[in-house]
Amino acid sequence: MATISRPAPALPAQATRAARPRWGARLAPYGYLAPFFVLFAAFGLFPLLYTAYVSLHRVELQTADRMDWLGLQNYTRLFEDPFFWNALRNTFTIGVLSTVPQLLLALGLAHLLNYRLRGRTFFRVAMLMPYATSVAAATLVFAQLFGRDYGLINWVLAGVGLSPVDWQADTWASQFGVSAIVTWRWTGYNALIYLAGMQAIPGELYESAAMDGASRWQQFRHVTVPGLRPTIIFTVVVSTIGASQLFGEPLLYEGNAGGGISHQYQTLGLYMYEQGWSFFHLGRAAAVAWVMFLLIVVLALINAAIAARRNRTDR
């Protein structure tokens, strides 16, 4: 062993001292990360794999202890089900209807908040209020506003001589209604993210732009937006994932899992819930869950690819 070797007794001690902490230093981060991964394995990975297992079986909630092997039948059935495609289409249209105005509004609001104005802390906190409101509370209020017979919005429409809209039964109107709730809840949240990004843009850029005679709008277009590009990509990714999982708002809009009488605003999340908890077909619900999961992975990859290309062309 090293300790017996002559030349310098101090050396081995030094060596061990150097080696030991390095071991510890190398392991410690894993130790600190371990709780997350243990929890992830228990509450993330295991359910994911178990869902995959369930999706290959016929399982009914009412007789959940019985599982019959089906292979991929739940998946093939799914792709033959017009209601699945309907839900996919709705998820996309509601996603676009809510994400695009939401991010544009957020960008505009952030730009305004970035000016020196009185009481801006108040405005910034106010921005976050809708986000802090629970989905249930927000949706219930909006469902009242969008009521056909007694809703405020139809009352206003009638006041200016327009005919009332059935915000729940009509396809586009109901999708707009659901999107309005999503937009209302998330605009402020995104605005604050943009604001943080904007404050990282050096003030000199604005000053020199102003000196060159750029108007506020030109400053916004040529300084702010390019400077915010990574932030914008981030919010687009997060909002896209959020939109593809949209569930609470459409569920509570009329209070049932069907997503309207003609399923006109049934999203994928609702479709899954309906399969599992209205019709009690747990196996099929599990198959939907996996398809949704894969869909989100694909969306994230596409986003990442676009972002990577953007960055490459930038530099």
166 belongs to the binding site for other proteins (CB under 8 A): yes
Q: Are 148 and 167 in contact (CB under 8 A)?
A: yes
255 belongs to the binding site for other proteins (CB under 8 A): yes
In the bound state with other proteins, the residue whose beta carbon lies nearer, of 58 and 229, is 58
In the bound state with other proteins, the residue whose beta carbon lies nearer, of 197 and 276, is 276
Single-letter residue type at 259: G
Q: How far is Cα 303 from Cα 287, in angstroms, rounded to an integer? A: 24
C-alpha 29: how far from chain center: 29
21 belongs to the binding site for other proteins (CB under 8 A): yes
For residue 94, give the nearest of 240, 256, 261, 299 by alpha carbon. Answer: 240
Q: Are 259 and 266 in contact (CB under 8 A)?
A: yes
Whole-Å CA distances, 184 to 167, 207, 219, 237: 17, 33, 27, 19
Close Cβ partners of 185 (under 8 Å, ≥ 6 residues apart): 130, 131, 133, 135, 138
Q: How far is Cα 53 from Cα 66, in angstroms, rounded to an integer? A: 14
For residues 60 to 79, the per-residue mask of contacts with other proteins, x marking binding by CB under 8 A and - elsewhere, is xxxxx---------------
- Report the run of H or E that residue 77 belongs to, with start and end: helix 73-80
Q: How far is the CB of 28 from other proteins (least distance, A)?
A: 7
Q: Are 148 and 164 in contact (CB under 8 A)?
A: yes
32 belongs to the binding site for other proteins (CB under 8 A): yes
Q: How far is the CB of 113 from other proteins (least distance, A)?
A: 36
Neighbours of 250 (CB within 10 A): 30
Residue range at the interface with other proteins (CB under 8 A); choices 89-97, 127-135, 141-149, 199-207: 141-149
Neighbours of 235 (CB within 10 A): 23
Site size toward other proteins, by CB under 8 A: 43
24, 44, 202, 226: which one binds other proteins (CB under 8 A)? 24
In the bound state with other proteins, the residue whose beta carbon lies nearer, of 58 and 124, is 58
46 belongs to the binding site for other proteins (CB under 8 A): no
14 belongs to the binding site for other proteins (CB under 8 A): no
Identify how many contiguous H helices and E strands the chain contains and give both numbers: 15, 2
Radius of gyration of the chain (CA): 27
Residue range at the interface with other proteins (CB under 8 A); choices 6-14, 81-89, 110-118, 234-242: 81-89
29 belongs to the binding site for other proteins (CB under 8 A): no
In the bound state with other proteins, the residue whose beta carbon lies nearer, of 196 and 261, is 261
For residues 265 to 304, the per-residue mask of contacts with other proteins, x marking binding by CB under 8 A and - elsewhere, is ------------xxxxx-----------------------
Q: Is residue 81 exposed (0-12), middle (13-18) or buried (19+ Cβ within 10 Å)?
A: middle
Question: Which pair of tokens denotes residue 131?
Answer: 């986000």
7, 18, 116, 149: which one binds other proteins (CB under 8 A)? 149
Q: Binding to other proteins (CB under 8 A): which residues in 189-228?
A: none
52, 88, 169, 214: which one binds other proteins (CB under 8 A)? 169
12 belongs to the binding site for other proteins (CB under 8 A): no
157 belongs to the binding site for other proteins (CB under 8 A): no
Q: Which residues bind other proteins (CB under 8 A)?
A: 17, 20-21, 24, 27-28, 31-32, 34-35, 38, 58, 60-64, 81-83, 143-144, 147-150, 166, 168-171, 254-258, 261-262, 277-281
